[in-house]
């Protein structure tokens, strides 16, 4: 949520010519609804299940690819197990302060003005990303630098 995954993914796609798959975009197209609407009317569990279905579809395509996953993908262990088995998981580690300033005003279903709720969500997800990530990159910097760091760590 707000770490720059979509922006960095697009930069990486341009630099590598790898296909990029935005899981959130794929879900919204299939559901013909926005993510906030899906969360509101069908719930987070429904959304996470749809996210898992899209992951299953995309990860085993034979092309070189970048998956632009929503920040909450770490909340569903089945999705993470599948990604871990088939992909290199990169954690764009960003401070809560930068995340908050980046998404201020965005319509994010789990973002709330309640600082305690956001802090707990941030801490929980950081713990999960720490568990699953193969590579950790400081995302508190310009997206072009973040992309360069990823390419360096992947030796591409």
Q: Which residues contact 60 (CB under 8 A, 6 or more apart)?
A: 86
On whether 106 is known to bind a ligand per the annotation, the reply is: no
68 strand-pairing partners: 22
On whether 65 is known to bind a ligand per the annotation, the reply is: no
In the block, tokens 């995340």 appear at 99
On whether 9 is known to bind a ligand per the annotation, the reply is: no
Distances from the Cα of 23 to the Cαs of 27, 47, 53, 80, in angstroms? 6, 11, 10, 14
d(CA 156, CA 16): 8
On whether 125 is known to bind a ligand per the annotation, the reply is: yes
On whether 102 is known to bind a ligand per the annotation, the reply is: no
Instruction: Give the pairing of strands 135-138 and 65-68.
Output: unpaired
On whether 48 is known to bind a ligand per the annotation, the reply is: yes
On whether 15 is known to bind a ligand per the annotation, the reply is: no
On whether 112 is known to bind a ligand per the annotation, the reply is: no
On whether 70 is known to bind a ligand per the annotation, the reply is: no
Annotation: binding site for substrate: 24, 48, 71, 125
Annotation: binding site for ATP: 2-7, 108
Annotation: binding site: 2-7, 24, 48, 71, 108, 125
Annotation: binding site for Mg(2+): 6
């Amino acid at each position: 949520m707000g770490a720059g995954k979509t922006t960095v993914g697009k930069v990486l796609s341009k630099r590598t010519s790898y296909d990029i798959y935005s899981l959130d975009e794929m879900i919204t197209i299939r559901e013909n609804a926005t993510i906030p609407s899906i969360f509101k009317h069908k719930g987070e569990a429904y959304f996470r299940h749809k996210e898992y279905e899209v992951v299953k579809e995309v990860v085993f395509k034979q092309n070189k690819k970048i998956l632009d996953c929503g920040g909450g993908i770490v909340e569903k262990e089945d999705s993470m197990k599948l990604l871990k088995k088939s992909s290199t998981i990169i954690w764009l580690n960003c401070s809560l302060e930068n995340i908050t300033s980046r998404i201020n005003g965005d319509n994010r279903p789990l973002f709330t003005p309640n600082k305690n709720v956001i802090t707990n969500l941030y801490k929980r997800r950081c713990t999960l990303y720490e568990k699953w990530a193969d590579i950790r990159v400081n995302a508190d910097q310009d997206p072009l630098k973040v992309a360069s760091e990823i390419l360096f760590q992947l030796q591409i």
